[in-house]
Amino acid sequence: MRRIVSSLAIATTAVLVTAGCSAGSGGSSGIDKSAPDKLSGTVSLWHFFSDQNADVMKQVVASFEKKYPDVKVELHDGQDDTKVQKAISAGQPIDVAVSSSSQPVGSFCSSGAFRDLQPFIDRDKVDLDDIPPAVRDYTQYKGKRCTLPMLADSTGMFYNTDLFKAAGIASPPKTLEELEADGLALTKYNPDGSIRQLGFNPLIDFYENGVGHWQPMINGTFLNADGTSAIGGSDAWKKLITWQKAYVDRIGYAKLRAFTSGLGQESQASNAFFTGQVAITIDGEWRVGKITKMKPGLPYATAPSPVMDGVGKYGASSITGNVAGIGRGSKVPELAWALLKYLTTDTAVQVELGNGVSNIPTLTSALKSPDLKVSPVYKTFVVGAADPHTVTFPATPDGAAYLQTFQKAWADYQEKGGDVNAFTANLDITIDNASKLAGP
């Protein structure tokens, strides 16, 4: 019996060691010295889009196949990051993969799951300057460029023009002080003291409020150059947290929570901004398409997010988006690169994707293209995306976990309050400790 147990233990260890070692290997060769004159073969494209957006991808791929008649693209719709990660980990030869968010960039780049694209970029002299700086930033990790951006989301402010007119407010707020004044002026109460209509909902966990989307208000940064948390050392974050907490307290946390609890779902026609229950909201460009579809007559306009006077840069937005890369196991890296380059660096394709999916293109040339369909309310987000002060959140190997940690801690703080210095100092410790768990 003892012999059987020993044999089993040895066998198990062998399996674990083998499995562990094999997970780390990956192909890296296959780049030609010059771009091939002729391309032929089959290349796979894994992406997360489904339904109508998957049809847009199909159209774009069809135009790629038309350009390269000897290339066939195998489309894999509806593949989320977890599936892509499992497939790469299992050694499946994924050629091109499109992720819905930039959060896995740190993990994919540092682990080598996605190939380093720099050799291709250098060889083909791809002009990365056409990509806005913030977008360039969230598609690389510590200088290693393993992804290119495909489409992005940009944030701004939506406001109800009828409610503004009724309250005698002539123009959208540009500073946080104005936002607070307008928000309070637009807030109406029931006879029992409960909120009937809210000007602006300051709860950090309401709909699209959040540390990422509020970042432009103070031109904030989350991490220092060495990857440690920058929040505790930032007066700007402390001022923003203090301002938000004071705003919450002015109305009352319990009242705000009770009102928010009765609101509809953000992604449905019952969205509180659609119903007029909330007059001002911070949101992304995708909401424009949702309003057109679900509440076509809604009287609204958009403007850049208000900023903290003297700290934030008015006009800037928070930007992040889809990223695309080449799987380390790709057997046809040249084909994969050709497809990736086509999807991410061709202005006409970016315009077609932007128009089709109703997301922001990630090339400055596409943002300025006359072919890009830009309504007056959509323009805020297009201009914001191209703003030089537009901010993003950096990639980390733990999928930008600091955002969740910060958001959760702030959601707790807005209710309980306390010393903001101690709060942010503790937050730094938590974020820095947790960052040691991911990797290698």
Partner 1 sequence: MTRPSRRGIEARRRMVALSMLAPTLTGLLLFFGYPLVASVFYSFTRYNQLQAPQFVGLLNYRFMVTADPQIFTAARNTLWFVVVLVPARIVCALMLAGLLARAKTAVGFWRTVFYLPALVPPVASVVAFVFLFNPGTGPVNHVLSWLGIKGPLWFNDPAWSKPSLVLLGVWVMGDMMIIFLAALLDVPRELYEASSLDGANGVQQVRHVTLPTISPVLGFAAATGVIAALQYFTEAAIASQVASGKITVGGGSGTDLGYPGSSLMTYTQLLYQHGFANFQFGYASAMAVVLFLTTALVLVLVMRRIAVFRPENNS
Residues that bind partner 1 (CB under 8 A): 12, 15-16, 19-21, 23-24, 80-82, 85-86, 88-89, 103-104, 107-108, 111-113, 205-207, 210, 257-268, 272, 397-399, 401, 403-405, 407-409, 411-412, 415, 429-430, 433-434, 436-440
Question: Residue 401 half-sphere exposure, CB side, CA atoms within 13 Å?
Answer: 16
CA dist., res. 76 & res. 93, Å (int) = 13
Least separation in angstroms between CB 23 and partner 1? 6
- φ/ψ (deg, to 5) at 296: -60, -30
**C-beta closer to partner 1: residue 33 or 436:** 436
* Three-class secondary structure of residue 119 per DSSP: helix
Pair of tokens at residue 105: 């960039």
**C-beta closer to partner 1: residue 71 or 84:** 84
CA dist., res. 11 & res. 273, Å (int) = 61
Least separation in angstroms between CB 262 and partner 1? 2
**C-beta closer to partner 1: residue 166 or 258:** 258
**C-beta closer to partner 1: residue 312 or 397:** 397
Tell me, what amino acid is at 322? Answer: N
CA dist., res. 44 & res. 30, Å (int) = 16
Least separation in angstroms between CB 7 and partner 1? 13
DSSP string, 237-254: HHHHHHHHHHHHHHH-HH
Least separation in angstroms between CB 423 and partner 1? 12
Least separation in angstroms between CB 314 and partner 1? 27
Least separation in angstroms between CB 440 and partner 1? 4
Residue length of the chain: 440
Tell me, what amino acid is at 253? Answer: Y
- φ/ψ (deg, to 5) at 189: -115, 150
CA dist., res. 270 & res. 249, Å (int) = 27
Least separation in angstroms between CB 173 and partner 1? 24
Task: Indicate the pairing of strand 300-303 with strand 96-99.
Answer: unpaired
**C-beta closer to partner 1: residue 174 or 245:** 245
**C-beta closer to partner 1: residue 96 or 338:** 96
**C-beta closer to partner 1: residue 59 or 268:** 268
Least separation in angstroms between CB 21 and partner 1? 6
Supply the DSSP symbol for 206.
Answer: S
Burial zone of 300 (CB within 10 Å; 0-12 exposed, 13-18 middle, 19+ buried): buried
Residue from 388, 401, 436, 439 nearest 222 by CA: 401
**C-beta closer to partner 1: residue 298 or 434:** 434
